[in-house]
Amino acid sequence: MFIVRYRIIFYIFSALLVIGSLLAIFGWGLNPSIDFKGGSLLEVAYSNQRPSQSDVIAALLPLNLSASVIPSETKSYDIRTTTLTDSQKNTLISTLSALEPSGTTTIPIHIGTTTAMASMSVPSMQVIGYNTIGPTLGVEAAWKSVVAVILVILAIVLFIAWAFRKVSEPVSSWKYGIVAIIDLTHNIAIPLGVFAVLGHFYGYEIDTLFVTSLLVILGFSVHDTIVVFDRIRENLHNAPGSKRFDEIVGASINQTFVRSINTSLTTLFALVVLYFVGGSATEHFSLALIIGIAAGTYASICLGSPLLVTLEKWQKKGKK
Amino acid sequence: MLKHRMIAFFIILIAAAIGYFVYATQSSSPFKLGLDLAGGTELVYTADVSKIPVGSVADSMSALRDTIERRVNIFGVSEPVVETETAGIFGSASTQNRLIVELPGVTDVAAAKSAIGATPVLEFYLIKTKDYNAIAAKNLNATDTQAAINAVRIPTGITGSMLAKATLTNDPVTGAPDAVSLQFNSTGAQKFADLTKNNIGDIAAIYLDGQPLEFPTIREAINNGQAQITGNFTSASAKDLVRNLNYGALPVPITVLSEQTIGPTLGQATVNAGIMSGLIAFAVIALFLIIWYRLPGLLAVIALAAYTALNLALYKLIPVTLTAAGIAGFILSIGMAVDANILIFERMKEELRKGRGIMDAVHEGFARAWPSIRDSNTSSIITGGILYFFSSTSVIKGFALVFIIGVLVSMFTAITASRFFLFAVSPKKPGRLSLFLMKNGFTN
């Protein structure tokens, strides 16, 4: 009952988080990766001593590729540029390679029947990965992402309205859907906001994997909401009209509180392990999921069901 | 009771067998790793179909795919993927026809691109033997010899476009796989028959991209449209020649839209990190379940082990191409797979508290938790499906597939399998110990 009675506090808390996120998103903007804006990303690793970042930037300046240089791992750099042609790419690699004195290796040379050892210089910088995406492909990926997010929200909301179609009293089933929309928007606004902040200060990027994490957050965070709604549905069925709606919602939250937390906890355990152990490829992905699922669990307990009560109260006022 | 125990035992046995299958087949048929893990190159081309009549675009795209696939296969890549795709921004008229080429293990993009995109020319020339001998007698250097030969060669009109196909074959003398057999199409066979019939004793010179390849002497009329080139080939260069001869022009011009190369070192590190985090995540979740849910928790852990084995086996059998995102998806799904167990156990605990018997509580727990589990999993599958169809990269598609498989398998392990486990071990009479084992201590 505590949550339902003091719901205004939780509304304000959620509203502050969402407003803060929106300010970050629209103030600083999101930092799209080459997945969405097109361009090239070259990851290189130096074997001995990594040249300083400023040296690399200075060396790349004359190439005119509007390159950004970000250190990654201990001896590597991520170089982001405009979409490169093959010859531009080769120039870029040789420029980067020239920054570190090449090492030498000895190779056997066969002359007639005698074998001599000759020393030969080898470049010590290695290209770890290269990715280039044309601008049209980027725009298309961005569009697909936006459409996918909207479709998932619509599909889930329609599904909830349908799944709870037999619940009409005192709050009709489409209102469960409306509440789900508010929940879901809340749950993706917060990770977006956090990534806008991280993007501004640490250069975190929004890529297709981030959008995937948003979709998973949408799909997962609705689980807890469904569990509470389902309990409300059951309690309404068992005690038709005998109790006040807000009491039923409050009791339902209390009854399902532990399982909502526990189902999210096991998933969060997996994600936290993935974040710390899983390697750099999925680090940001798991971070986004952790934020979104935590927000989603909070919202399903403290935002979604209390909102049903608020809707019911408005409905009553409207009738009077 | 006995029936439940038998089935539970049977499920564990099968799961163990599946687990052993995954382990034992690791050397013969390992997991299929995506480019980001195995290392390799992905090239996305856009095909310019503006000059192709609308009706035959699909045909020429599939012809393009076949041609590129042939080239890629001879490039010596294991399990290359060549796919065509129609894509575009919604609502815009400009859809694009794309060709996606995945080359596992290939990191030399420049070589790969030239092998895919180059369009070499094969030509046959006639050289009179007397001219050839006269030039040879002059003892010129290589460049001058070639220039002199080019001056006397006679075009025959026979080109690579008249070849039905070229294949790698064994040298009839040495037996080494370094000879190339040619099969002309009907036009080519006719021209070749005329050429050989009228010029016995002269030379049918073979040129590739303007460079002389071979100067075989015509010994007899060849009417069946077959010829064999043997020469100073190594098996590698013979293979190259076969590729080159099978080239012909591409049916549709293509340009590179995007390319991605991943070195193998990065991939191996990611795989190791993925395995490590999978093990740790499993251990942490198992510990949590056993501490919180006791006996049912332990059963959920056994079901989760079965879940893991079943998933991994499906990845091999379907097969699912595992990417870094896919592995992350699997680890995420380990955390989600036990959700159904948690909902059931919490409900059981509630029913026990209401004073029901243990068997009753187990029954009710499953029955009452089912609607939530069904609705949750439906929403997951909706999400996974949309993700799969709107994914712009194969990486995301791989994730979506793993996600959907995970939800479906967990419906079986966390519900059906767990139910048999629970019925198999649930004590009939509620003693203090059995209640302690079935309930959890952390009440709310």
Q: Are B328 and A274 in contact (CB under 8 A)?
A: yes
At B108, the pLDDT band (50, 70, 90 cuts) reads confident
Higher pLDDT, A317 or B92: A317
**What local confidence, expressed as pLDDT, does residue B303 receive?**
94
- The closest CB to that of A279, out of B263, B274, B390, belongs to B274
Task: List Cβ neighbours of B312 (8 Å cut-off, separation of 6 or more).
Answer: B19, B22, B31
Question: What number is the ipTM of this complex?
Answer: 0.84
Testing the interface with A: which of B266, B311, B370, B439 to mutate, by most A Cβ within 10 A?
B266
> Same domain for B138 and B238?
yes
Question: What Cα–Cα distance (Å) separates residue B109 from each residue in A86, B40, B249, B355?
Answer: 9, 9, 21, 70
Write down which residue in B180, B214, B247 finishes a domain. Answer: B247
- Give B-chain residues touching A144 at CB under 8 angstroms: 390-392
Task: List Cβ neighbours of A128 (8 Å cut-off, separation of 6 or more).
Answer: A43, A44, A45, A76, B262, B263, B265, B266
**What local confidence, expressed as pLDDT, does residue B119 receive?**
55
Summarize pLDDT for B380-405 with one digit per residue, the tens: 999 999 999 887 777 788 889 999 99
Q: Is the pLDDT of residue A117 over 80?
A: no
Summarize pLDDT for B241-250 with one digit per residue, the tens: 676 666 555 6
Radius of gyration from C-alpha coordinates of chain B: 33
- Give B-chain residues touching A279 at CB under 8 angstroms: 269-270, 273-274, 277, 324
Tell me, what CATH number does B230's domain have?
3.30.1360.200
The number of C-beta contacts closer than 8 angstroms across A and B is 211
> Same domain for B289 and B378?
yes
Would you call B335 and A268 a contact, using CB atoms and an 8 Å cutoff? yes
Decide the pairing of beta strands A125-133 and A103-111.
unpaired
- The closest CB to that of A282, out of B257, B260, B324, belongs to B324
At A261, the pLDDT band (50, 70, 90 cuts) reads very high
**What local confidence, expressed as pLDDT, does residue A131 receive?**
87
Q: Are A191 and A125 in contact (CB under 8 A)?
A: no
Q: Is the pLDDT of residue B292 over 80?
A: yes
Would you call B280 and A273 a contact, using CB atoms and an 8 Å cutoff? yes
Summarize pLDDT for B20-41 with one digit per residue, the tens: 988 888 888 888 888 888 888 8
How far apart (Å, rounded) are the C-alpha atoms in residues B301 and B414?
Answer: 10
Residue A6 DSSP one-character state = T
**What local confidence, expressed as pLDDT, does residue A107 receive?**
60
Would you call B288 and A285 a contact, using CB atoms and an 8 Å cutoff? no
Decide the pairing of beta strands A125-133 and A114-122.
unpaired
Q: B44: number of CA atoms within 13 Å, CB side?
A: 21
Would you call A279 and B368 a contact, using CB atoms and an 8 Å cutoff? no
> Same domain for B156 and B184?
yes
- The closest CB to that of B273, out of A145, A160, A279, belongs to A279
> Same domain for B393 and B315?
yes
Q: Which residue has the tokens 């938790």?
A: B369
| Mean of pLDDT over chain A | 86
Q: Say if B443 falls within a structural domain.
A: no
Q: Is the pLDDT of residue A17 over 90?
A: yes
Least confident of A9-23, A93-107, B167-181, B342-356: A93-107
Would you call A209 and B269 a contact, using CB atoms and an 8 Å cutoff? no
Would you call A279 and B336 a contact, using CB atoms and an 8 Å cutoff? no
* Residues facing residue B204 across a β-bridge: B126
> Same domain for B420 and B401?
yes
**What local confidence, expressed as pLDDT, does residue A115 receive?**
62
How far apart (Å, rounded) are the C-alpha atoms in residues B332 and B170?
Answer: 53
Q: Is the pLDDT of residue A11 over 90?
A: yes
Higher pLDDT, A169 or B225: B225
> Same domain for B19 and B48?
no
Q: Which of B35, B37, B74, B56 is nearest to B243 (CA)?
A: B74
At B444, the pLDDT band (50, 70, 90 cuts) reads very low
Would you call B379 and A208 a contact, using CB atoms and an 8 Å cutoff? no
> Same domain for B383 and B302?
yes
- The closest CB to that of B346, out of A259, A269, A277, belongs to A259
- Minimum distance, in Å, between the CA of residue B158 and any CA atom of chain A: 35
What is the torsional sign of CA A67, A69, A70, A76? positive
**What local confidence, expressed as pLDDT, does residue A138 receive?**
83
Tell me, what CATH number does B345's domain have?
1.20.1640.10
Q: Which of B305, B298, B275 is nearest to B16 (CA)?
A: B305
Higher pLDDT, A196 or B186: A196
Summarize pLDDT for B50-76 with one digit per residue, the tens: 777 777 777 778 777 877 876 777 666
At A78, the pLDDT band (50, 70, 90 cuts) reads confident
- Give B-chain residues touching A222 at CB under 8 angstroms: 376, 379
How many CB atoms are closer than 10 A to CB A162?
Answer: 13
| Mean of pLDDT over chain B | 82
Q: Say if B444 falls within a structural domain.
A: no
Q: Which of B186, B70, B182 is nearest to B124 (CA)?
A: B182
Q: What is the mean pLDDT of residues B118-143?
A: 78
Task: List Cβ neighbours of A107 (8 Å cut-off, separation of 6 or more).
Answer: A117, A118, A119, A120
- The closest CB to that of B281, out of A130, A219, A274, belongs to A274
Question: What Cα–Cα distance (Å) separates residue A40 from each residue in A43, A131, B126?
Answer: 10, 6, 50
- Give B-chain residues touching A285 at CB under 8 angstroms: 325, 328
Higher pLDDT, B392 or B422: B422
Q: Say if B349 falls within a structural domain.
A: yes
Q: Which residue has the tokens 């079965």?
A: B306
**What local confidence, expressed as pLDDT, does residue A242 receive?**
66
> Same domain for B99 and B64?
yes
Would you call A140 and B87 a contact, using CB atoms and an 8 Å cutoff? yes
Would you call A279 and B269 a contact, using CB atoms and an 8 Å cutoff? yes
Write down which residue in B187, B214, B247 finishes a domain. Answer: B247
> Same domain for B392 and B402?
yes
Q: Is the pLDDT of residue B91 over 50?
A: no
**What local confidence, expressed as pLDDT, does residue B208 receive?**
65
Q: Which domain holds residue B308?
A: 2-34+263-438
Strands of the sheet containing B154-159, edge to edge, are B154-159, B122-127, B203-208, B211-214
Write down which residue in B206, B237, B261 finishes a domain. Answer: B261
Would you call A226 and B379 a contact, using CB atoms and an 8 Å cutoff? yes
> Same domain for B16 and B163?
no
Would you call B392 and A270 a contact, using CB atoms and an 8 Å cutoff? no
Q: Is the pLDDT of residue A187 over 90?
A: yes
> Same domain for B387 and B403?
yes
- Minimum distance, in Å, between the CA of residue B329 and any CA atom of chain A: 10
Task: List Cβ neighbours of A149 (8 Å cut-off, separation of 6 or more).
Answer: A188, A211, A214, A215, A218
* Residues facing residue B56 across a β-bridge: none
Q: Say if B9 falls within a structural domain.
A: yes
- Minimum distance, in Å, between the CA of residue A320 and any CA atom of chain B: 35
> Same domain for B350 and B426?
yes
Tell me, what CATH number does B91's domain have?
3.30.70.3220
User: What's the total number of domains in chain B?
Assistant: 3
Secondary structure class of A66 (helix, strand, coil): coil
**Domains in chain A and their CATH numbers?**
2-35+135-319 (1.20.1640.10), 39-132 (3.30.70)
Q: Is the pLDDT of residue A255 over 50?
A: yes
At B105, the pLDDT band (50, 70, 90 cuts) reads confident
**What local confidence, expressed as pLDDT, does residue B210 receive?**
66
Summarize pLDDT for A200-239 with one digit per residue, the tens: 998 899 998 999 999 999 988 888 888 898 898 888 888 7
**What local confidence, expressed as pLDDT, does residue A293 receive?**
95
**What local confidence, expressed as pLDDT, does residue B30 receive?**
83
**What local confidence, expressed as pLDDT, does residue B120 receive?**
54
- Minimum distance, in Å, between the CA of residue B74 and any CA atom of chain A: 23
Radius of gyration from C-alpha coordinates of chain A: 27
- Minimum distance, in Å, between the CA of residue A181 and any CA atom of chain B: 14
**What local confidence, expressed as pLDDT, does residue B29 receive?**
80
SS3 annotation, B192-250: HHHHHHHCCCCEEEEEECCEEEECCECCCCCCCCEEEECCCCCHHHHHHHHHHHHHCCC
**What local confidence, expressed as pLDDT, does residue A15 receive?**
95
Q: What is the mean pLDDT of residues A175-204?
A: 92
Higher pLDDT, A271 or B162: A271
- Minimum distance, in Å, between the CA of residue A308 and any CA atom of chain B: 18
Q: What is the mean pLDDT of residues B120-138?
A: 80
